[in-house]
Amino acid sequence: MRGFLVVIGIAGLLATGTAAARSDDYVLTIKDHRFSPEEIKVPANERVAITVINEDATPEEFDSSALKVEKVVAGKSKGIVRIGPLKPGRYPFIGEYNEATAKGTVIAE
Amino acid sequence: MLGALIIVFREVIEAGLIVGIVMAATRGVLGRGRWVTIGVGGGVLGAGVVAMFAGAISDAFQGAGQELFNASVLGIAVVMLMWHNAWMARHGREIADEMRRVGVAVSEGAKPLTALAVVVGLAVLREGSEVVLFLYGIMASGTSAASLLAGGILGVAAGAAFTALTYFGLLAIPSRHIFSVTSWLIALLAAGMAAQAVQFLNNAGLVVALDHTVWDTSWLLSDGSILGRMMHTLVGYTERPTEMQLTVYIATLFVMFLLMRIARPSPRRRLPVAAE
């Protein structure tokens, strides 16, 4: 079991390299306290890096307990959110500072 | 306004729980009020600085600066809490005895109050910087800012009241039990912080081993709810822990109790941390 988990860990480590290289593939833009796109598809069972671009002047916190991420993105700036490996499914996220409008979903498939 | 109140309150109670527990854990120690005040004051200042440099921190280390910063802050707090508990295992009995004999305050100069002041400061800094960023966003966005800002300020006040409630609630515990209770609380607090720190390292892309989710109890208690947040701070609850988080949680508890056992004085008399 232990050895198996370590192997998975190493595989994960290798996967990071690939995910980092492809982080430009996944981009979320925040504008007027809304995410665009509001649904973003990523491959399941892989580590993925999503670049979050905040075009608003105010900071936003990308927050998702489902994705296990809390990340503040300053105004007029960008941040990288690293997630996964995810089982296939839908994972909601919000912009914590503007919860009423800033909502979205990561779809792993 | 209610929304702002809730968001701010949510952040403040996390720091508030920690401050309340630290206050209770230092019950009867002379000068603790000053140290806790220094901790809170330093934390508020630090929160402002962190919020101001949020962009720069975030950009550092190939975009993983914020995660590394959070992990370091939590890591330092864990070490300080371990130090405190080890110290308490050695001296807690004397303090409790003396408190019973002479009433309340005890002059205990050697107490590592600095350690707890640092813990308080870091807790306020971490949660506070989010509050500052949120309130800044409100102020910058204009229109209904005044009512939102009022909500934010009320949120801070409610959080402070909650801190007082935690403290006085813990004070209701009889003095001969209070240090064993606070030692447990602090051990769980530290384990939860360590588990959270390792998840930040995962988000930074550094510790990616054992990153599979072990269970999902979001249907039962969501991380986003007020109760979920409180349990997160108190015992490290998270709705979807990874294998690594569980491993680190258990390891931290183990190291904590090992240190307390080593620090414990050897004489025959009954020991302060023995289960009562």
Task: Transcribe B51-118 into DSSP letters.
Answer: HHTHHHHHHHHHHTHHHHHHHHHHHHHHHHHHHHHHHHHHHHHHHHHHHHHH-S-B--TTS-HHHHHH
Structure letter (DSSP) for residue B213: B
CA distance A37 to chain B (A): 22
Whole-model pTM above 0.95? no
B101, pLDDT greater than 70 = no
pLDDT digit string (tens) for B49-97? 999 898 888 888 888 999 999 999 999 999 999 998 888 888 777 777 7
pLDDT in tens, A45-79: 999 999 999 999 889 999 999 999 999 998 889 99
Q: Is the Cβ of B172 closer than 8 Å to some Cβ of chain A?
A: no
Give me the interface pTM, i.e. the ipTM: 0.81
pLDDT of residue B33: 86
* Homologous superfamily, domain A2-108: Cupredoxins -  blue copper proteins (2.60.40.420)
Is B222 part of the contact surface with chain A (CB cutoff 8 Å)? yes
Contacts of A11 in chain B (CB under 8 A): none
Spatial CB neighbours of B20, under 8 Å, sequence gap ≥ 6? B162, B163, B164, B165, B166, B167, B169, B170
Closest partner residue to B218 (CB to CB) among A20, A59, A65 is A65
Residue with the bigger pLDDT between B260 and B94: it is: B260
Q: Of B59, B136, B224, which is closest to A59 when you measure between CB atoms?
A: B136
Say yes or no to pLDDT of A81 above 50: yes
Interface A-B: count of C-beta contacts within 8 A: 102
Q: Tens digit of pLDDT for each residue in A4-23?
A: 555 445 444 544 444 444 45
Are residues B211 and A75, on separate chains, in Cβ contact within 8 Å?
no
The domain ranges of chain A are 2-108
> Could you tell me the residue ranges of all domains in chain B?
2-263
pLDDT at B276: 41
